[in-house]
Structure 1
Amino acid sequence: MPTTDDLITTPITPALLRGALDLERTEQGLLPHRLPARARAQNTDGQLAMAESQPSGVRLALRTRATVLELDTLPTKRVYVGAPPRPDGVYELLVDGRPAGRGSVAGGNTLTIDMTTGTAGVEPGPVGTLRFADLPEGGKDIEIWLPHNETTELVALRTDAPVEPSPDPGRRIWLHHGSSISHGSDAASPTTTWPALAASLGGVELVNLGLAGSALLDPFTARAMRETPADLISVKIGINVVNADAMRLRAFGPAVHGFLDTIREGHPTAPLLVVSPILCPVHEDTPGPLAPDFTGLAEGRVRFVATGDPAERASGKLTLNVIRDELARIVEQRAADDPNLHHLDGRELYGEADAAELPLPDNVHPDAATHRRMGERFAKLAFTDRGAFTG
């Protein structure tokens, strides 16, 4: 069995990566970003900065005859004060499109977050190594999906045979934007977030701009989508606008129009699907802001509660039902001049019957089984029959 010293080191370049919009050179290596530098420069929010650096949907894609592969990375692990340790991020290996292994990387930086005070600090840590051995003989296409919920700097790639970028598969590119639910919060692994599952079933290449806590109709996100090559586009809007208590109804409608207008500047005829929120009982008729309930933190349980007053809907505060009605109205209005604009009620992905069977563990985020259900349903609704992404 070859040792590390016997292996060939290949520089990690943009040609070896899919799903990232930018690569930042760091002291250790390369940090994939899911927002470009211009957008990052206009952001001042730590939550968004963390979310866009977590490589949901980002994967190495290479062609090789190698039977041994090592990847050095510098992960950033999250630790929440008062809570048990979080599991390490999961890397997934696909060989010729089929699952062939999983692993994690020990060590790395530690980001300690105190949710009671809203403070955070980073302690530097060492680079770790992911190793896959006994890979099939002969030429093959390999993908390594990076952890969807763990910031990951790429340091070195080593193999026992030369590598080159995987050839373009010729599949349509699906660009999707949404909240932590689209980012993959509480999914079991990077290939089993609901967008990754839907992309696999739909036979498309995913670019996932699911940004935990940060689907807030930011103009710089719309510009990033405008400038990203895509054949199919979807935007899942609503839950973060409500749980951040970010705007009122008066501002929401124009913000949605502006977001869609910007996307259309770069993609005037691409199928564009607007998806309203999945069912979230705490926010169906109760406005935000959302707040954590810390009573179960020591046991590793965090639940969320809506702190708004339902009576405030009369003054323009937003709830999920208000947002669903407004999105349906906006899409109907715009579709008169935009036949490639479509609407999907998010409750078709996860609704009342699903909540009775698979309740949201923390009142907001779906678990692994629900991610699978949502991915399968989205693929059926969007990629088959008369769905927005057929053809």
Structure 2
Amino acid sequence: MTTEHDTITTPVTTDLLRGFLDVETTAHGLLPHRLPARARRQFPDDQLAVAEAQPSGVRLVFRTRATTIELDTLPTKRVYQGFPAPADGVYDLLVDGRLTAQATVPGGNVRTITDMVTQSAELTEGRPGTARFADLPAGDKDIEIWLPHTEITELIALRTDAPVEKAPDNGRKVWLHHGSSISHGSNATHPTAIWPALAAAHGQVELVNLGFSGSALLDPFTARAMRDTPADLISVKIGINIVNADAMRLRAFVPAVHGFLDTLREGHPTTPLLVVSAILCPVQEDTPGPLMPDLDGGTLLFKATGDPDERPLGRLTLTVIREALARVVEQRAADDPNLYYLDGRSLYGEKDHAELPLPDAVHPDPAGHRRIAENFGRLVFGKGGPFATGTGAGTGAGTD
């Protein structure tokens, strides 16, 4: 007979996972994905393939009396050639919703980016490791283990010193969010400190984060994935990647936005849907892309390289995109009363930039993530906001 001091191995199955859209069985274990297999077959390059496999917002959730928990994983870490290796990704463990312990998994695979422009890379294979959490509070408790938001993580085994059971449904509404690297969590130091996770905690909702570094490009496969994902609240943050990739002109952009929203409405015809433009980013406000890395002085900064004089020809800047998004939402709102627009500068604007400048000229630091989350919580989840009812119980069924 099992006692609470025995080590119990529990298979990592989808019943224990939240915040994912698909899983892949690998030679080592279970690999969560944030886009379905059909979408993954349509990627034109590795940029999105890596980003969607990094489990930003993905977490294990279960109930247990265990005071020691171990999670075996095989991480794949990203290193930029010529730069110091980043710190190991952090696993956040929450007890009854409170951050209680953190751990890392040294080693693992290493993906070395040899060219920041083309994103060409070399993979060095490594060994699995263990995230260990000890001396946890006694008694029954709900556990969440948030996976590192910037490390591809293959889940191998969960070990505890007491039985594990599936966590009960908490009745919270599901918030489905899509955005760029800032939504993915770039420059945040641990997974529950990315701004969508902080905002979800404020709004007391269940987060499904489809923030993809460099890949918020109005891709039809992303729209279809969102269309088919159960959700009670939906937001899409549009602009920065389209400008910094120099991905399209105004003529293509406006119909692409309409098409993306049309697809979302096929699956979620009356769900509250919020369109958010980019936060303030001075280097791209009035200068088109492409955005290029600037390594002058040994510090990584980004600079826009397009010609501002080409804006009358349809070249996109953040200013142009904000105006276009506001018009699109205004045009559609007459037939779609649950569609809303939020200027991203209300989340992070001139005053915020003066106080909390962007370290690399594009991405906020940890304090910037907190500021964005605070403003999103107040404007979106707060009284009178488009998601103000998101704090109550919801079906999460995605049917209207």
The alignment's TM-score, normalised by the length of structure 1, stands at 0.97
Q: Answer whether contact 2:80 2:116 (CA < 8 A) is retained.
A: no
Deviation of 1:264 after TM superposition, in Å, equals 0.4
Deviation of 1:283 after TM superposition, in Å, equals 0.4
Cα 1:116–1:33 shift into 2, 3 Å: closer
Deviation of 1:267 after TM superposition, in Å, equals 0.4
Cα 1:375–1:312 shift into 2, 3 Å: same
Question: Counterpart of 2:111?
Answer: 111
- 2:213 and 2:165 map into 1 onto residues whose CA distance is 33
State the AA in 2 paired with 1:61.
V
How many residues get paired? 384
Question: Counterpart of 1:167?
Answer: 168
Question: Counterpart of 2:397?
Answer: none
State the AA in 1 paired with 2:143.
I
State the AA in 2 paired with 1:310.
P
Q: How does 1:1-391 map to 2 (within 5 A)?
A: 6-115=6-115, 118=118, 119-297=120-298, 301-391=299-389
- 1:243 and 1:62 map into 2 onto residues whose CA distance is 40
Deviation of 1:6 after TM superposition, in Å, equals 4.5
Deviation of 1:78 after TM superposition, in Å, equals 1.1
**In terms of mean alpha carbon deviation, does 219-228 or 162-171 score higher?**
162-171
Cα 1:174–1:116 shift into 2, 3 Å: closer
- 2:226 and 2:88 map into 1 onto residues whose CA distance is 30
Deviation of 1:335 after TM superposition, in Å, equals 0.3
Identity %: 71
State the AA in 1 paired with 2:328.
I
Cα 1:129–1:290 shift into 2, 3 Å: same
Cα 1:85–1:335 shift into 2, 3 Å: same
- 1:89 and 1:137 map into 2 onto residues whose CA distance is 27
Cα deviations across residues 306-325 of structure 1 (Å, max 9, x unaligned)? 00000010110000000000
Cα deviations across residues 5-53 of structure 1 (Å, max 9, x unaligned)? 9511100010100001011000000111000111001112211001000
- 1:117 and 1:164 map into 2 onto residues whose CA distance is 46
State the AA in 1 paired with 2:205.
V
- 1:229 and 1:13 map into 2 onto residues whose CA distance is 19
- 1:79 and 1:56 map into 2 onto residues whose CA distance is 18
Cα deviations across residues 279-306 of structure 1 (Å, max 9, x unaligned)? 0000000000000012244xxx310000
- 1:74 and 1:92 map into 2 onto residues whose CA distance is 16
| Structure 2 residues not aligned, in runs of 5+ | 390-400
Give the secondary-structure state (helix, strand or coil) at the position aligned to 1:154.
Answer: strand
Deviation of 1:115 after TM superposition, in Å, equals 2.5
Question: Counterpart of 2:395?
Answer: none
| Structure 1 residues not aligned, in runs of 5+ | none
**Deviant stretches of 4+, over 6 Å:** none
**In terms of mean alpha carbon deviation, does 214-223 or 126-135 score higher?**
126-135
Give the secondary-structure state (helix, strand or coil) at the position aligned to 1:273.
Answer: strand
Give the secondary-structure state (helix, strand or coil) at the position aligned to 1:94.
Answer: strand
Give RMSD over aligned pairs. 1.0
Give the secondary-structure state (helix, strand or coil) at the position aligned to 2:170.
Answer: coil
Q: Answer whether contact 2:235 2:273 (CA < 8 A) is retained.
A: yes
Deviation of 1:116 after TM superposition, in Å, equals 5.4
The alignment's TM-score, normalised by the length of structure 2, stands at 0.95
State the AA in 2 paired with 1:221.
T
